[in-house]
Every structure is written in C-alpha cells, then in structure tokens.
Structure 1
Amino acid sequence: MKQNFTVRHGALDGVETFLAVAKHRSFRRAAAALGVTPSAVSQAVRALEARLGAALLARTTRSVGLTEAGQRFLERAAPAFDELVAAGEAARNLGRRPTGLLRLSVPRAVVPLILEPVIASFCQAYPEIELEIAASDEMVDLAAGGFDAGIRLGQFIAPDMVAVRLTPPFRLVVVGSPDYLGRRRPPERLDDLRGHACLRMRRSNGSIAPWSFVDDDKAVEAIVSGPLIAHDYPTLLGAAIRGMGLAQVPGPLTETPIADGRLQALLTRYAVTTPGVFLYHPGKRQVLPKLRAFIEHVRYQGVEAPRPSA
C-alpha cells in the first residue's frame, strides 16, 4: 500500500527563494544573494504560490511587498527554515569532526579491563564527544537500542557486523580458591568436574552455558552443576574467590587474583582459546568521526596489553 506522507514531495521547493525575496524586498538582490538569475527567482516564487494556492508577494515596477498570506507564511516558515539549516549543519558537523553523543553497549567485565584505562584520556582528547557506556551482559540490537557500537567476545558477534580487535586471543581459565581446594581435591581430568561445585553462566538467550575445553585438539563441552548461576563473569569470579566453587572465566580477569594467591588455575592443559574482545558496529555506511576516534584511541593507547593467561 502506498504510504501517505505528511510533507508532500517538493513541498519545500521555493521556500528559501521566497525567504530571500522577503528579506531583501527585491527579486534582483535575492538572486544575487542566492547566486542565481532574477528569472530563476521569479519562477521559483510563482511555482510556490501556485502550489500553495495563494499570492505571497505583491509586486510593482518599483517595489516588492508581502501579502497577508505572505506575511503569515513568512512568520511560520522563517523560523522553521532556520531550524532546518541548523539541523543540516549539526549533521554535517557529525560527519566532519569527532563530536556528539557516542553510545556503547559493553559487558560489565570489559569496563575494568579495557575501558577504565582509557575513558579519562579519551574524554580529554575529544571534549566535544559525550561518551555513554551501557554496561550489560545482554546481547542488544545496536540499531534498536540507539547504540553506535558494542564490545563483546568475538564468538558472540554476528557475522554481518564489522569487528575491530581490541585484545589478543585469550584462554578461558578454570579457577578455584585455596580455601575451596583445601576442602576438595583439585580436578586433574575433565571427568573430575562431576564431583565439584561449578559456578555457571546464564546466556542472554536464557540457556546455561556449558564449560568449553579442548582435548587432543577436539572441542569438548562439559555440562556442569553447582550452587550459583550468574549473568556475568565478574560475579562468577567473585564467588570463586570467596570459595563457593570453581569458575570458568576469561584469562585476563584471572591474572591479578592468581598472581596474589586468591585463586589457582586448574585444568590448564584443557583450556580453550577464545578469539578475544572486539568492538563491533554495523558499518554499512561511513563510520562517523566520533566512533572512528574512539576506535583509534582504544586500539593505540595500550589497551591491547592483556595477554593470554598461562
């Protein structure tokens, strides 16, 4: 079915020309200001009057004035046209230089690992950009949510997205606290996980994620059980540190608690390597300068430091 448009096609034709004539009270001076011929100005105004069904200008051989209809049209059209010009300039600014609101959807675990080290320096480097970070582990529709880009583990990014690497590949590491491992024998094989309290992650689609491993170059998924189901890795990591059970989390999250003795790495020979963390966006059209500036800043400000966990 054909759509009925509120503003008809061509409804704005001639408006700028009329406003120029109304301002200068002269077809010739309006033509000079617009860079066209007086004849072109006259034709545009006549076409506008014909479309509106009312005379807007009263013409004599010596002067040009406004009719009552012209005065009313001027009072409404002039501020509206100024807003259109301002809107166009604002859009052009977004396309010319880094400015405007930059909205990112990111997992909670990414904020301390990747974003916190660069947020302050980015905002200082680009004061015309407002950075909004929506920390959520739900997979969101970027367009529907009004986001410019998202950040996720590479395996969770749809293939039709443009992905920009932010970290090297890293392992998913099984960890447990000394307190927990003092009560339970550390697992040495994948089958040993059946006797352990395993902390699990619920995916955004509602399913509980199995634990992923590699055994003799073959991918293995282990269905585990335990006392806690969380929706994000930081919660699982914190529960493991408190001795609630074992957790499988991204290697970069475990580096500090393993180094200071709060956690121990387990089943390392079965650890699977993930693609790493990526920024992703639709990318079907030209990337706006604000997003391009963020990508360049994050990639080249030392954020790629996290290395695969041992």
Structure 2
Amino acid sequence: MSTRINERGVEETYFEGQHLSLSDLKEEEIYHAYLFKNNIPAYPESVEFDVEKVSHVTGRRGLEGIFEDSGFKASDTSYFLWWNLSVTADDIDSAEERFLNSLFPHTRIRNQIPFLEQFTTSKAFQKESPYGNFRFTFSIRELLYHYGDQFCPGHSPVLRVFETVLYKQEILYRIIVHPRSITLYNNYPRLPNDDDGVCGYANGSIWWRCQAPSETYMNRFKVNWRRGSVHVSPRNEHYYVWDQVCVAFHMEPGWVLHVNRDKLIKRVNVCEVSGPCLLRPPETPLSLHRAENILSNF
C-alpha cells in the first residue's frame, strides 16, 4: 500500500499488482470514512457483469485532437490512454439473470420483478461523464486488435492486473495493456481469464464482479429463500463507496492509436457532463445542443 498525489491534485491510496475486493480492503490497516461504514442496507454483492465495450470521454479540445490525429494518444504528462467500461442495459439484465441463477441454482424463477437497475446507480453505470461531452465507444476486442496491429508486431497485447486505487468514495480497479516488448510491467500478474478475482478478460468481454454498485443506498435487498425470489424495499439514504474498472493502454511518447475517420464518426456521441466536473480549464461543460452542433461539423 502506498499513497500519492495524482495529476489532478487528488490523493490516492493504491495497491500495486493487486485487485483487492471490498472485504480484502477492509482487512488493510487504513483509515477511511466510507469504507468501514456498517449501517449500509443489504444490496446485491459481487454481481458479475460481462462487458464487451469500453469508452473514452473527452472535451471539445480532445475531440478536435482525436480527429486531427486520426486516433488516440496519451496526454503529455502520462504514458496511459484510459478507457472505462461501458455497461449497457442489456449487460445489467444479463448480470441480474446470472445473479438469480447463482442464488437459486435449482429453482425455475418466474415473474421476478427486475431489481438490479435500482442498485446500479453509481458513476460506473451513468450515461453522463465528468470528463467531457464527447464519448467514443469501442468493443474491447476491436481496441485490442488495433493496438496489437500497430504496436505489437507478431504478438497479442498483454493484459495485466495493474492496481487498486482507493479514493474518498471510489474504488478503482485498473487493468494495464502493453506490448510484450515493453518489460516495465513484467512483475504485475497476468489478468485472469477464468473466474478468479475481481475482474478479468475472456472471449471478447471484460468480466467484473462489482463490489459496490451505488454511491447512495436508498434500498434494501432481501432474499426469500423459501419462494425463490428477491425483493427491494426503500430505506433511508446512506452514502458508501462504489467501484469501477478502467483499462489503461500503455502509450510511448509520439504513439497514436490510429482509427480511420469514418469509424471515429460512427463511434462517438454526446453526453452530459456530470459533477464534479473534471474537465481541464479553460474547457467548460457544454449543453447537449451545443455539443451536438460541434460534433455535426466533423
């Protein structure tokens, strides 16, 4: 365990080469106001999501730079190109079905009212983003193909467990992708392709066992074992940690992950900026109407 100040001036507690579950983190000797709260209403724990798509969100300057460069590159102060999981409504439905089947493996479940959408309310599941108004969305398989084709001649990219980062209310699981020729990360474990751990990659999807799906808990989850069903009841508002997964592609200075213009246009849409806004000055959030007008000019 170590601490550092990131490039946005925010303190991070991080664990290199590990993806620590919520219970693992609670065994660490750290002070954290939210992590150790014990009055959180019951919620669906360790729900597994299989996510095929990732997204990169940016502001107007980033959008212009991506089209000028015909692709993506790291910032001037970083070796990483960051992508977040893009969890769809279908991903949530599939995760709910798997979760119910794991609870009641020998029961045919009928007429169950959907429940998971009432808990998947953290920033990991929101359509808005604090990073800007323009979201590029690709399948992780497609990105790995482009990255491998351009930077990993003769080999596939390597995916590894990078780190767990703990913020005031967020647990961030980072995955690193790099060429075999870059040996900087050889001491980090390979990302699992089976069901061992918090997250991994298999068959074109990143699977993720979500540890805490909400920032604010306003519902209580209860299992009726006799009837083979679950239900949700309202509770008072409680704040807790939430978690998400991001993928960092290692980028050397001057590298651009090239994508042709037509594909860039097909893969980008606009979104609202959520708070707290993390756009770098002088950029400011745009209205959806303004963002759509800007995008229509590309």
Q: TM-score, normalised by structure 1?
A: 0.21
> Which structure's residues are more often helix, by fraction?
1
> Which structure's residues are more often strand, by fraction?
2
Q: TM-score, normalised by structure 2?
A: 0.22
The structure with more radius of gyration: 1
- If asked which structure has higher relative contact order (CA below 8 Å, sep 6+), I would say 2
